[in-house]
């Protein structure tokens, strides 16, 4: 493959975008987002392009997220580089969400964070037996951005809240059952699927239907009732109490996981999802997440989470505040405050 981090070209009426940063599991940086945006804008009104397909080179995964080290280094200063990245990334997410031509995302392997942001807006979202989906941001002091405030609360019941707070990892049987991905296609059939889409570029959904197969039972299904009941509250404290009162092995395991996460991130994330559920447009959600992101990356917990998980890899973050009661409503209000008009996120013109 080319050395370019994103490869774009037109093949058989399909605008092809291939992520090509395999050593970093295609973690997104600003230049990659801008390259994808440029291609999508060029193809939007191009009669030679009937649909878009986004995939990745190599076999390690689709996209592990954003360039977290860069974001943390920027957040340790004035966060200007982090904000510039978020501006470009969120504009790409919104461009894909509103795109007039069908987009197909082949999510083969790991898809987390920023990878979710460039696959969830696609009309056709294909998982394979190698797919592992997660939004693990509460474990590094962040929150599930890139549209998580829009997509997660719109999953069935409270599954999106559970996913966002715990950072749980799902395989294809669960992602398809929840509607995160629209189809399951065996990895060995992907080459044939892509070729088939080239024959019918106007209708990638029909080709995905033709190549799709059953995933088998969804492992999460037996816990859906408990998730909907125990994660339905509007405060993290109430969720903790409900899990403790439930007392089952599963509930206690969820509580133990939550207690390892940043208390600030848990509260930020729950408010983000509850707010996102009430918004009328994806653009409004992205504006909320942009204001929030520029502030959260400068907090102690994000800096400490990146140190513990990504830099030093001791997986022993020291959160501050260390407990939920230390994260006050006033702290949350400050993080969620709207930006001045001249600093607000806006979609591409």
> Catalytic amino acids?
66, 114, 137, 145
Tokens of 188: 């060995």
Q: Is the Cα torsion angle 224, 225, 226, 232 positive or negative in sign?
A: positive
Burial 190-219 (b: 16+ CB within 10 A, else e): beebbebbbebbeebbebbeebbeebeebe
- Is the Cβ–Cβ distance between 53 and 14 less than 8 Å? yes
- As a whole number of angstroms, the distance between CA 282 and CA 90 comes to 10
Q: How far is CA 160 from CA 151, 171, 315, in A?
A: 8, 15, 25
């Amino acid at each position: 493959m080319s050395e370019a981090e994103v490869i774009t070209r037109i093949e058989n009426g399909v605008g092809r975008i291939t992520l090509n940063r395999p050593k970093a599991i295609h973690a997104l940086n600003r230049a990659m987002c801008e390259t994808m945006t440029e291609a999508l804008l060029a193809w939007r009104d191009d009669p030679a392009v009937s649909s878009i397909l986004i995939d990745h080179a190599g076999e390690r995964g689709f996209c592990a997220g954003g360039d977290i080290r860069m974001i943390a280094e920027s957040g340790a200063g004035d966060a200007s580089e982090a904000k510039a990245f978020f501006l470009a990334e969120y504009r790409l997410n919104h461009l894909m969400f509103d795109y007039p031509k069908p987009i197909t995302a082949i999510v083969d392997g790991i898809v987390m964070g920023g990878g979710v942001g460039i696959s969830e807006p696609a009309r056709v979202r294909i998982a394979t037996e190698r797919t592992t989906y997660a939004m693990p941001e509460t474990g590094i002091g962040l929150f599930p951005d890139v549209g998580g405030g829009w997509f997660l609360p719109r999953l069935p019941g409270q599954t999106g809240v559970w996913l966002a707070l715990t950072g749980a990892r799902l395989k294809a049987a669960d992602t398809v059952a929840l509607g995160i991905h629209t189809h399951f296609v065996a990895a060995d059939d992907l080459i044939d699927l892509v070729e088939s889409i080239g024959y019918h570029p106007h209708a990638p959904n029909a080709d995905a239907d033709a190549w799709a197969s059953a995933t088998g039972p969804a492992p999460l299904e037996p816990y859906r009732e408990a998730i909907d009941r125990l994660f339905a509250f509007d405060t993290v404290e109430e969720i903790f109490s409900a899990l403790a009162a439930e007392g089952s092995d599963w509930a206690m395991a969820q509580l133990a996981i939550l207690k390892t996460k940043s208390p600030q991130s848990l509260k930020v994330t729950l408010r983000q999802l509850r707010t996102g559920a009430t918004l009328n447009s994806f653009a409004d959600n992205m504006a909320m997440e942009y204001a929030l992101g520029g502030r959260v990356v400068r907090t102690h917990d994000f800096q400490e989470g990146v140190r513990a998980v990504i830099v030093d890899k001791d997986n022993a973050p020291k959160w501050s505040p260390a407990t939920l009661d230390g994260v006050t409503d006033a702290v949350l209000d400050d993080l969620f405050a709207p930006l001045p008009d001249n600093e607000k996120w806006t979609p591409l013109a």
